[in-house]
């Protein structure tokens, strides 16, 4: 049975998700919500730069709520719980890369009734946080025994992350170190990372742990070009963020990221190390494991600004989750609740059904 899918927002994640929906053998794109007035009323294919696909984008929330669909991939720049709840009440399952990986009980309570009223499911997924910071450490921990430590961490040059408002307004790049340290950065970003830590703690059966966030900053020593303009000397151009779960003074779970605006003109003189841009997964147990993931970063800044592989990974995780989420019982479902989620063969290589 083909599942009818709506794409909510057409930023980097949304555009990639649309491309993948169109290639997925079990999915059909039937709607698209857009924020910008200049996208309203246009064929979705025009928005993503392909030929027409026969689906017209709309900026009307009411039109989307009234549309008959099985699922919505909800990927705006900023999440709004009331929008998610309205979609769930309208009978549409929701998959989103914006948190909801492993929500606290008080957060889950905000949408639980909507799931029950609509007979729908909410699933949070993504890459970092979500996926690389919880699913992958747990997956490799399955190949070990007596686990004492797991880690999921990103190392990225963000000059090709073409989301200016997130880089500047949320992540704090281009501001003074004092501004960033006094801002709600750790709270905003940490909402997702903390969920990853808690998922790892609970799934692995660790005792109660204290979660400790840390933030280290590097500033520019010369002007640095980036997606929102220029970072001037003295402004934040590098961040190292970690969330550690600590038991009796020992770190048992660590998730986080090193984000740099290049590897030059930084104080301190941070680099990404000899491994370059990458994701890492580490498990300490019997036996241990150390995994480095390449391929989720663009080869050049120019390529990444057009189509960032890390963003595409987040899109793929959302799109590939749709059949599994639609088949699940109503409620909030995490990776721990769903069966193994996987992709589908390229259309040219797929099994042909009579």
**pLDDT tens figures, 249-268:** 999 999 999 999 999 999 99
Q: Are residues 111 and 7 in the same domain?
A: yes
Q: Are residues 30 and 160 in the same domain?
A: no
Determine, yes or no, domain membership for 306. no
Q: Are residues 289 and 229 in the same domain?
A: yes
Beta bridge partners of 151: 254, 282
Q: Are residues 115 and 142 in the same domain?
A: no
* Residue 1 pLDDT class (50, 70, 90 cuts): confident
What rounded mean pLDDT belongs to the chain?
A: 95
Q: Are residues 146 and 288 in the same domain?
A: yes
> Mean of the pLDDT values across residues 304-331?
96
Distance separating alpha carbons of residues 252 and 274, to the nearest angstrom = 26
Residue 354: its pLDDT value, please? Answer: 62
Q: Are residues 21 and 118 in the same domain?
A: yes
What is the per-residue pLDDT across 268-294, written as a single tens digit (0 to 9) for each? 999 999 999 999 999 999 999 999 999
Short-list 290, 354, 319, CA closest to 14: 319
Per-residue pLDDT at 351 exceeds 90:
no
Distance separating alpha carbons of residues 168 and 2, to the nearest angstrom = 40
Inter-CA distances, 63 with 57, 75, 147, 225, 301, Å: 10, 18, 50, 40, 38
Residue 304: helix, strand or coil by DSSP? helix
The first and second tokens of residue 157, run together, are: 């040059």
> What spatial distance separates the first Cα and last Cα of the chain, rounded to whole Å?
14
* Residue 164 pLDDT class (50, 70, 90 cuts): very high
Determine, yes or no, domain membership for 318. yes
What is the per-residue pLDDT across 182-191, written as a single tens digit (0 to 9) for each? 998 888 888 8
Q: Are residues 283 and 322 in the same domain?
A: no
Which residue pairs from 296-303 have beta carbons closer than 8 angstroms and sit at least 24 positions apart in sequence?
Answer: 296/127, 297/156, 297/157, 298/160, 300/160, 301/157, 301/159, 301/160, 302/160, 303/160
Q: Are 192 and 101 in contact (CB under 8 A)?
A: yes
Per-residue pLDDT at 219 exceeds 70:
yes
* Residue 242 pLDDT class (50, 70, 90 cuts): very high
Per DSSP, helices labelled H in 28-129 are: 44-48, 61-66, 81-89, 105-118
pTM of the model: 0.93
Longest dimension (CA), the chain: 64
Distance separating alpha carbons of residues 344 and 247, to the nearest angstrom = 41
Q: Are 90 and 118 in contact (CB under 8 A)?
A: yes
The first and second tokens of residue 241, run together, are: 């963020």
The first and second tokens of residue 334, run together, are: 């995490």
Residue 350: its pLDDT value, please? Answer: 86
Distance separating alpha carbons of residues 329 and 162, to the nearest angstrom = 36
Tallying the residues shown for the chain, one arrives at: 354
Residue with tokens 């994640």: 13
Q: Are residues 70 and 192 in the same domain?
A: no
Short-list 299, 311, 339, CA closest to 19: 311
Q: Are residues 108 and 150 in the same domain?
A: no
Number of domains in the chain: 2
Per-residue pLDDT at 202 exceeds 80:
yes
Residue 276: its pLDDT value, please? Answer: 96
Determine, yes or no, domain membership for 300. no
Q: Are residues 115 and 140 in the same domain?
A: no
Per-residue pLDDT at 95 exceeds 90:
yes
Residue with tokens 């120019």: 302
Distance separating alpha carbons of residues 88 and 107, to the nearest angstrom = 15
- Residue 290 has a CB neighbour count (10 Å cut-off) of 11
Percent with pLDDT over 90 in the chain? 91
CATH of residue 328:
3.40.50.720
> Mean of the pLDDT values across residues 293-312?
94
Domain that holds residue 33: 3-126+312-349
Q: Are residues 57 and 143 in the same domain?
A: no
Q: Are residues 13 and 114 in the same domain?
A: yes
Distance separating alpha carbons of residues 21 and 319, to the nearest angstrom = 6
Distance separating alpha carbons of residues 225 and 222, to the nearest angstrom = 10
């Amino acid at each position: 049975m083909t599942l009818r899918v709506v794409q909510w927002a057409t930023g980097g994640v949304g555009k990639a998700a649309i491309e993948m929906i169109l290639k997925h053998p079990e999915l059909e794109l039937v709607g698209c919500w857009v924020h910008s007035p200049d996208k309203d009323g246009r064929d979705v294919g025009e928005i993503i730069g392909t030929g027409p696909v026969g689906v017209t984008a709309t900026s009307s929330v009411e039109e989307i709520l009234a549309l008959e669909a099985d699922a919505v991939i909800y990927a705006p720049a900023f999440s709004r719980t009331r929008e998610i709840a309205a979609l769930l009440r309208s009978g549409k399952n929701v998959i989103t890369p914006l948190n909801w990986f492993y929500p606290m009980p008080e957060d889950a309570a905000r949408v639980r009734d909507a799931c029950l009223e609509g007979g729908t499911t909410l699933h949070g997924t993504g890459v970092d946080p979500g996926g690389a910071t919880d699913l992958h450490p747990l997956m490799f921990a399955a190949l070990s025994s007596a686990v004492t430590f797991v880690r999921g961490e990103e190392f990225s040059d963000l000059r090709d992350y073409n989301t200016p408002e997130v880089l500047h307004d949320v992540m704090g790049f281009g501001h003074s170190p004092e501004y960033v340290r006094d801002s709600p950065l750790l709270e905003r970003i940490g909402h997702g990372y903390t969920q990853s830590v808690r998922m790892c703690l609970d799934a692995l059966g660790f005792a109660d742990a204290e979660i400790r966030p840390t933030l280290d900053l590097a500033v520019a020593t010369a002007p640095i070009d980036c997606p929102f303009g220029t970072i001037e000397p003295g402004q934040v151009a590098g961040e190292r963020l970690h969330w550690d779960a600590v038991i009796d003074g020992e770190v048992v779970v660590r998730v986080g990221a090193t984000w740099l605006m290049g590897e030059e003109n930084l104080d301190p003189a941070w680099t990404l190390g000899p491994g370059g841009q990458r994701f890492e997964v580490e498990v300490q147990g019997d036996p241990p494991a150390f995994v480095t993931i390449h391929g989720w970063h663009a080869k050049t800044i120019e390529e990444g600004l057009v189509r960032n592989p890390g963003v595409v990974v987040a899109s793929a995780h959302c799109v590939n989750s749709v059949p599994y989420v639609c088949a699940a019982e109503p409620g909030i479902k995490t990776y721990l609740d769903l069966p193994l989620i996987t992709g589908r063969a390229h259309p040219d290589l797929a099994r042909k059904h009579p």
